[in-house]
Structure 1
Amino acid sequence: MNTTATTWRVGWSRGVTELRQSFTNAGDLFNHCFWPVIMLITTFFLRDVAFRQTGFSLGTLVLPSILGMNASMAMVTMSQLLTADREDGTLLRAKATPNGMRSYLVGKIVSVSGSLVADLLIFLIPGMFIISGLAIGGPGSWLTLIWVLALGLAATLPIGAVLGSLFTSARSQGLLTLPILGVIAISGVFYPITAMPHWVQWIAQLFPIYWLGLGTRSALLPDSAMAIEIGESWRHLETVGVLSVWAIAGLLLAPIVLRRMARREAGSSVAERREKALQRAR
Structure 2
Amino acid sequence: MNPTSNAVRAGFTRGWIELRQLFTAAPDLIGQFLTPAIALVVLYLLRNREYPGGDLSVAELALPGLIGSIIVFNGLFAITNVLVLDREDGTLLRAKAVPGGMTGYVVGKIVSAAGSVVVQVAVVLAVGMAIIGGSSLDGAAAWLTFVWVLLLSLLAALPVGAILGAVLDGPRATFLLTMPLMGLVAISGIFYPITALPGWLQGVAQVFPIYWSGLGMRSALLPPDAVAIEIGESWRHIETAAVLGVWAVAGLLIAPVVLRRMARHESGSNMAARREKAMQRAF
Deviation larger for 232-241 or 20-29: 20-29
Q: C-alpha distance in 2, partners of 1:252/1:22?
A: 29
Q: Which residue of 1 aligns with 2:55?
A: 55
Normalised by the length of structure 2, the TM-score is 0.96
Deviation larger for 61-70 or 193-202: 193-202
Q: C-alpha distance in 2, partners of 1:279/1:201?
A: 42
After superposition, give the CA deviation of every residue in 1:57-108 in whole Å (9 maximum; x if it has no partner).
1111100000000001110121011100111111111111122212111111
Q: Which residue of 1 aligns with 2:195?
A: 194
Q: Which residue of 2 aligns with 1:128?
A: 129
Q: Which residue of 1 aligns with 2:152?
A: 151
Q: C-alpha distance in 1, partners of 2:251/2:31?
A: 27
Q: CA deviation at 1:129?
A: 1.2
Q: C-alpha distance in 1, partners of 2:88/2:161?
A: 16
SS in 2 for 1:48: coil
Q: Which residue of 2 aligns with 1:260?
A: 261
After superposition, give the CA deviation of every residue in 1:179-215 in whole Å (9 maximum; x if it has no partner).
1111111100011001111111111100000000000
8 Å CA contact 1:33–1:122 kept in 2: the answer is: no
Q: Which residue of 1 aligns with 2:45?
A: 45
Q: CA RMSD in A?
A: 1.4
8 Å CA contact 2:14–2:108 kept in 1: the answer is: yes
Q: C-alpha distance in 2, partners of 1:181/1:41?
A: 19
8 Å CA contact 1:64–1:217 kept in 2: the answer is: yes
8 Å CA contact 1:22–1:29 kept in 2: the answer is: yes
After superposition, give the CA deviation of every residue in 1:115-170 in whole Å (9 maximum; x if it has no partner).
11111122111111112322323232222111111110001100000011111211
Q: C-alpha distance in 2, partners of 1:257/1:201?
A: 31
SS in 1 for 2:190: coil
8 Å CA contact 1:36–1:122 kept in 2: the answer is: no
8 Å CA contact 2:129–2:136 kept in 1: the answer is: no
Q: Which residue of 2 aligns with 1:211?
A: 212
Deviation larger for 225-234 or 139-148: 139-148
SS in 1 for 2:80: helix
Matched, 1:12 2:24: no
Deviation larger for 17-26 or 272-281: 272-281
Structure 2: state its 5+ residue gaps: none
- Percent identity reads 54
Q: CA deviation at 1:280?
A: 4.7
Normalised by the length of structure 1, the TM-score is 0.96
SS in 1 for 2:260: helix
Q: C-alpha distance in 1, partners of 2:130/2:175?
A: 35
SS in 2 for 1:165: helix
Q: C-alpha distance in 2, partners of 1:105/1:248?
A: 17
8 Å CA contact 1:83–1:168 kept in 2: the answer is: yes
Q: Which residue of 1 aligns with 2:25?
A: 25
1:74-153 paired onto structure 2 within 5 Å:
74-153=75-154
8 Å CA contact 2:149–2:217 kept in 1: the answer is: yes
SS in 2 for 1:219: helix
Tell me which amino acid in the other structure corresponds to 1:271: A
Q: C-alpha distance in 1, partners of 2:135/2:267?
A: 52
Query: Would you identify which runs of 4 or more consecutive aligned residues in structure 1 move more than 3 Å?
Result: 275-282
SS in 1 for 2:167: coil
8 Å CA contact 2:4–2:103 kept in 1: the answer is: no
Deviation larger for 10-19 or 24-33: 24-33
Q: CA deviation at 1:281?
A: 4.9
Q: C-alpha distance in 2, partners of 1:127/1:205?
A: 26
Q: Which residue of 1 aligns with 2:2?
A: 2
Tell me which amino acid in the other structure corresponds to 1:185: A
Tell me which amino acid in the other structure corresponds to 1:101: M
Q: C-alpha distance in 2, partners of 1:249/1:221?
A: 30
After superposition, give the CA deviation of every residue in 1:25-49 in whole Å (9 maximum; x if it has no partner).
2210221231221121021012111
Q: C-alpha distance in 1, partners of 2:229/2:191?
A: 13
8 Å CA contact 1:82–1:161 kept in 2: the answer is: yes
